[in-house]
Structure 1
Amino acid sequence: MIDFTWLYRHLPRRLSLALVLFAFLGGFEGVLNGYVLGQVPNLTTIDLTGRLRYVGVAIALYAGTYYAGYILNLLQQAAIRRWNVALKTQMLQASAAGGEAESTGMNRLTNDAAQIQARYFEAVVGLMQNAAMTLVSTWFVLTVNWLMGLIFIAFSAAAMLPMLAFTKSLSRLGQQWSEANAKTLAAAQDWLQGQPELQQYLAAGTFFARVKAALALSERRLQQQTARQYTAQFATALMVVLGLFAPMLIGFLLMARGGFGITIATLLTLQLSADHVTAGVRAVVAGWSGLAGTRALRQLPPVDATPAPAPVAAGPGAVVLDGVSQTFGDQEVLAPTTRRLPAGSKTLIAGPSGVGKTTLLNLIAGRLKPTTGTVTIDGTQATPQAVTYVTQQSWIFAGTVRENLTLGQSFSDQQLTTVLTQVGLTSQLGDAPLDRPVSPATLSGGQQQRLAIARGLLRKRPVLLLDEITAGLDDQAALAIRELLYRLPQTIIEVAHHYDRQLLARDHVSELTLNHELTPATAQD
């Protein structure tokens, strides 16, 4: 859940303190005009030096306050940047951990993240800024003159009463108009869609009466809503006028009695400042309501940002399938299968399309949990960390050969060069092959397959799973890759539709044939 605790946790303490400090310093903008202009009446009784000092102080106050606001904007952007990094990191990790489709994860990263930034991160910093301005304005107004300050704040707040009083009726009228408008649109659509039959049965005139009645009701509801809005605005305007002059009248009466230290300068200062208290309160209430509306958007599955790495299998690679089957819903994808594949053995999984060959590979890879039976590698339940899984669609990204091999992990150049030589890529990648930039567009299909295989060989997993890796290659390239792989010491399990039986016999490759009746369409292969 993205909430205030989450926001605080993802900010350095110094940045949090600086945000609060400059929010309060920038909050003086709300009372600056009141303080500076409120001193104007006093200028009539001082000399030129005093007036020049007044101008200098005023310039310094405005410059300092605006500078504080400028720094606050920079700090807010720094905070939003950190929050965005943390948010998008969590989104990506949550998508990966939950097995979401790529399109879903990208939608989170773009649309959802942008919505959270606009409707929550930016709203939170705006809320903090308005809250600081409200507190500063309240403090200032009360220190100028506590009695008149309370009077000005009370009358300023009274300007909100008409809108509060009319809120329910405006909401009700808005709902009534929305319903009437929906009926009008439906009636108009019926009228337009039904023209052929209305013309055929000479019923256009009578049917249109229904449309006209819906239209008249919709416009009447809109007129009622608009009239109520005008009434609320008029009442608000009256209260604003009352808020402007009633406190002044009270102040004049108190001045006539000579009490409470009230002066014209005091009244002018409060007149220019008190509105910022109620304006700030309104902004805080509106901002808080807006934040509440983003609660569903901010719900994200929790993800440990630094998950402990799973242990990597280091055994010889003996695979045991014990009554393994797989069912999706009521569709049997893989019939119960039992087989022992010794460490270092080479096995070809064959069978017609839809029989469950790829499903079996996914079970051995630990990517699927079997419906019945068990899959073990060296006596331990199969996990993705125990195997190297290479598919026809090799994952190669834009980067150097080194980056594609290491994936950010630490390996020596000698280790990297060794696996490139094993797969026959060293001579094909030119000088300094490890630093050569590559991408799917710059490598052939065979080179991509070899690079993906090299990535797996680098990690020395005991089991190598191959899923139709030669389907897109010519016969010569496919033969070269198989000759490379079948010379490796790892346990190799391959799914292929097309293969050379002489090569299988030469390399002592056993065959596991899957063949049973499946219900249609849902089998994975």
Structure 2
Amino acid sequence: MDASNPGEAPETDETLPPDDPVVAPKARSIRPLVMIWRQALKYPAQVALALVALSITAAATLAIPAYFKVLIDRGFSRGGDIEGINHAVELLFGVVVVLGIGTALRFYFVSWLGERVVADIREKVQENLLRLAPGFYEENSPKEISSRMTSDTTLIEQVVGTTVSVALRNTLMAIGGTAYLFYLVPQLTMWMVLVIPAVVIPITVFGRRLRNVSRTSQDRVADIGAMVTEVLGAMKIVQAFNQESRERARFNAAVEDSFNTARRRIMIRAAMTALVIMVVFGAIVLLLWRGAVGVASGEISGGTIAAVVLTAGLVAGSFGALTEVYGDLLRGAGAASRLAELLHEEPAIAPPARPEALPVPPRGSLSFRNVSFRYPTRLESPALRDFTLEVQPGETVAIVGPSGAGKSTIFQLVERFYDPQAGTIRLDGVPLTSADPAEIRKRIAFVPQEGVLFSANARDNLRYGNWEATDDEIWEAARAANAERFLSELPDGLDTFLGENGTQLSGGQRQRVAIARALLRKAPILLLDEATSALDAESERLVQDALERLMADRTTLVIAHRLATVRAADRIVVMDEGRIVEQGSHGVLASAGGLYARLAELQFGATEAA
């Protein structure tokens, strides 16, 4: 799958075996809907009740022409059969009641199935998305994936809750109506049946093109959703740089592109519908003509021709509805195939079949030996080259260097978001590739450069690092991160909703919440990506003091852009172009005249750096 360019609908899915019924190598059929059918079959009782209700409503609808035939034949016959008319009317009322109750039951069970199937698919897709390594979301747009989870699942809900019901009901009515017509006027009906191939052939031909266009149409809608999310999330930047007109033009272009694709889809459906209706209704007109001639010659009764007219109308309407719902089914198949890609995507980082257990109690040692790594999206540019580093338990190692030197890559590899192409990384002597990634991450607490918070209250954001933490432990971590004061001043304390990504807090406050969250983790290894960069001078001093006390019992890796924060580190590792170029204390490196000395001089001036 490659959603980085959602404008191109992939024709194959290399993540699935070619014989999987969910996969459609080319957009030609409704086969991807098999995934939905399998999901629905997990609720056999509801499926059975829905099918029974469908059959009852179809049969009741077809019974109406039969009773009309009785009414007309007995009502217009000489003398009139009043008792027979009354009996027929009573039965007709009974059919109407059955039709009403059956329709209500059909609507309930079919709608229930639609909602349940969509909920299950969303849960399964989300479960699989949470298994995928972060690298997947660098190659595939999260905004486009989010659009699939909303617009595509809405389409599937429509397919299960409405389209399939309409298709089955009209199929039953078309078959049952045709059988009844054979019973009434077999010779005339035979002529009508001969035109069925003329209906099936255009549906097949147009259907292939329609599904291709339907899939592309869904991609265009996903583009719009992704663009809206991106622009609204960065509205301050858009307005700060006066780019409103450009974003408006870009959005309008995407909308017009979506409209043009939808127009092609509509034109194909319109042509298919017109052709089928002309063929079907043309056959019915001929049928009625022959029926009228039969009535005039006395071969058939007036009630029979009335029943033929009503039944033929139902059959024609059923065929016409089937041509329209087939287009909807194809759109649903396109949505199902897009979700199937996400559902069957395999994680690039997965636990081995027999993961090696990490030692207990944890020591907190890290070892990099001849590690080389290139990001999958940037294979031409190595991020780490023959990188070797031994970090002892309890040691604090600061990693410095210019932008692009590979500092953040070290953290990504330690968390096993990626595996190196060469070399080994060990945690407490166990190769990361031999251990369960979840167990590795349980031993690591991470504070990113910018505090990432969730749309939740303060308590849930804080205990994200340790969901079992008590309020006392939360407040203790908040005090250590210098967050206690502003958290206690929130309107509802820890129950205060912080807004999307913590928008109700300042940047420094968000960072302190992120630090407290990492402290609650109580992990033996601490990863700090310039964790104090967003704090003011006073808060930075207080948090730095707290971190220094807490780092005494932890192995700590610190990425530092401001060298003032790493002077007290046990060791400073200087990186450039993916390699270690210097190691040592601040004093030794500052006087060595190398890269670190130049960086220190730029930040502090020559005298203070020395």
- Residues 1:430 and 2:488 are matched in the alignment: yes
Q: Supply the distance in 2 between the matched residues of 1:312 and 1:430 (Cα, whole angstroms).
A: 39
Compared CA separation, residues 46 and 404, structure 1 to 2 (3 A): farther
Answer with 235-244 or 161-170: which moved more. 161-170
Query: Which has the higher Rg, Structure 1 or Structure 2?
Result: 1
Corresponding residue for 2:112?
78
Q: In the aligned structure 1, how far is the partner of 2:541 from the partner of 2:202?
A: 81
Task: State the secondary structure of the residue aligned to 1:85.
Answer: helix
Q: Tell me the equivalent position of 1:399.
A: 456
CA distance in 1, matches of 2:420, 2:493: 42
Query: Quick check: 1:326 aligned with 2:378?
Result: no
- One-letter amino acid of the counterpart of residue 269, structure 1: A
For 1:19 and 1:230, the matched residues in 2 are separated by 31
Of 16, 39, 51, the residue aligned with 1:9 is 39
Q: What do residues 76-106 of structure 1 show as CA deviations (whole Å, max 9, x unaligned)?
A: 3322222322333344344441622598333
| Aligned twin of 1:211 | none
- Between 1:44-53 and 1:124-133, the stretch displaced more is 44-53
Specify the alignment match of 1:157 in structure 2.
193
TM-superposed CA distance for 1:465, in Å, is 0.4
Aligned to 2:584: none
> Could you tell me whether the CA contact under 8 Å between 1:131 and 1:281 is conserved in 2?
no
Measured in 2, the distance between the counterparts of 1:424 and 1:165 equals 73
1:24 aligned to which of 34, 39, 55: 55
Cα displacement string for residues 461-514 of structure 1 (whole angstroms, at most 9, x for unaligned residues) = 21110112222222222222221112112211101111437x743xx5321122
Query: Structure 1 stretches of 5 or more lacking a match?
Result: 172-228, 257-261, 519-525
Aligned to 1:492: 556
Match of 1:481 in 2: 543
Is 2:64–2:92's contact at 8 Å kept on the other side of the alignment?
A: no
Classify the secondary structure of the residue corresponding to 1:360: helix
- Structure 2 counterparts to residues 271-282 of structure 1, below 5 A: 271-277=309-315, 279-280=317-318
Deviation at 1:347, TM superposition (A): 1.4
Please report how far the alpha carbon of residue 109 of structure 1 lies from its aligned counterpart in structure 2 after TM superposition.
Answer: 3.2
What is the TM-score normalised by the length of structure 1? 0.72
- The separation in 2 between residues aligned to 1:513 and 1:271, in whole angstroms, is 89
**Do the aligned partners of residues 312 and 49 (structure 1) sit closer, same or farther apart at CA in structure 2, a change above 3 Å counting?**
farther
Question: What residue in structure 2 maps to residue 105 of structure 1?
Answer: 142
Contact 1:465–1:492 (Cα < 8 Å) also in 2: yes
Equivalent position of 2:394 in the other structure: 344
Structure-2 residue corresponding to 1:299:
340
Cα distance in 2 for residues equivalent to 1:35 and 1:317: 83
Q: Which amino acid aligns with 1:316?
A: R
Q: How does 1:227-242 map to 2 (within 5 A)?
A: 239-242=283-286
Q: CA deviation at 1:349?
A: 0.8
2:66 aligns with: 35
2:170 and 2:322 in contact (8 A); partners too: no
C-alpha change, 1:113 and 1:149, in structure 2 (3 Å) is farther
Indicate if the aligned counterparts of 1:80 and 1:117 stay in contact, CA closer than 8 A: no
**C-alpha distance in 2 between matches for 1:4 and 1:512:** 55
**Deviation, structure 1 residue 460:** 2.0
1:103-130 deviation digits (Å, cap 9, x = unpaired): 8333233357424543785278434433
The answer to whether the 8 A contact 1:84-1:113 is kept is: no
Code of the aligned partner of 2:49: A
Q: Secondary structure at the match of 1:494?
A: strand
Aligned residue runs from structure 1 range 250-265, under 5 A: 263-265=301-303
Residues 264-283 of structure 1: per-residue CA shift (max 9 Å, x gap): 43443233214534653565
Alignment of 1:22-421 (within 5 A): 22-28=53-59, 30-41=61-72, 42-44=74-76, 51=85, 54-96=88-130, 97=132, 99-101=136-138, 104-111=141-148, 113-115=150-152, 117-118=154-155, 121-122=158-159, 125-135=162-172, 138-139=175-176, 142=179, 147-148=183-184, 150-151=186-187, 153-158=189-194, 239-247=283-291, 249=293, 263-277=301-315, 279-280=317-318, 283-284=321-322, 287-288=325-326, 291=329, 294-295=333-334, 296-297=337-338, 299-302=340-343, 315-327=362-374, 328-382=378-432, 383-407=440-464, 409-421=467-479
Match of residue 256 from structure 2: none
Bigger Cα displacement from structure 2, 9-18 vs 407-416: 407-416
Of residues 7-16 and 47-56 in structure 1, the stretch that sits farther from structure 2 once superposed is: 47-56
Which structure is higher in RCO with an 8 Å CA cutoff and minimum separation 6? 1
Q: Distance in 1 between matches of 2:45 and 2:301?
A: 43
Partner of 1:511: 572
- Give the whole-Å Cα distance in 1 for the aligned partners of 2:203 and 2:343: 39
Distance 1:492 1:235 in 2: 77
User: Deviations for 1:343-392, whole angstroms, at most 9, x for unmatched residues?
Assistant: 11111111222221111222222222223322211112344343112111
Structure 1's 412 and 146: CA in aligned 2 closer, same or farther, altered over 3 A? same
Structure 1 range deviating more: 56-65 or 405-414: 405-414
Match of 1:455 in 2: 517
- CA-to-partner distance for each residue in 1:233-275, whole Å, 9 max, x for gaps? 887765332111325656887x75xxxxx75434432332145
Q: Which amino acid aligns with 1:79?
A: L
Decide whether aligned partners of structure 1 residues 134 and 437 sit closer, same or farther in structure 2, where only a CA change above 3 A counts. closer
Report the Cα distance in structure 1 between the residues aligned to 2:458 and 2:197, rounded to whole angstroms.
Answer: 69
Q: Structure 1 residues 241, 137: closer, same or farther in 2, change over 3 A?
A: closer
Q: Which residue identity lines up with residue 129 of structure 1 in the other structure?
A: V
TM-score, normalised relative to structure 2 = 0.63
Q: Deviations over 1:124-158 (max 9, x none)?
A: 8434433344335644664x686435445434434
Q: Secondary structure at the match of 1:370?
A: coil
The CA distance in 2 between the partners of 1:122 and 1:277, in whole Å, is 22
Higher deviation after alignment, 320-329 or 270-279: 270-279
- Looking at structure 2, the residues matched to 478 and 343 of structure 1 have their Cα atoms a distance apart, in angstroms, of 26
**Which secondary structure state, in structure 2, belongs to the residue aligned with residue 514 of structure 1?**
strand
Match of 2:243 in 1: none
3-state SS in 2 of match to 1:273: helix
Question: Structure 1 residues 150, 298: closer, same or farther in 2, change over 3 A?
Answer: farther
- Between the aligned partners of 1:135 and 1:498, the Cα distance in structure 2 is 74
1:427-461: CA deviations, max 9, x gaps? Answer: 43227743232232222223222222222222322
Inter-CA distance 458–169: structure 2 relative to 1 (3 Å threshold): closer
- Aligned-partner residue type, residue 245 of structure 1: W
Aligned to 1:181: none
Deviation, structure 1 residue 289 = 6.8
Distance 1:286 1:512, change over 3 A: same
- Tell me the percent identity: 18
Aligned length: 451
The verdict on how the C-alpha distance between 1:271 and 1:159 changes in structure 2, with shifts beyond 3 A counting, is farther
| Alignment partners' CA distance in 2, 1:235 and 1:139 | 20
Q: Secondary structure at the match of 2:137?
A: coil
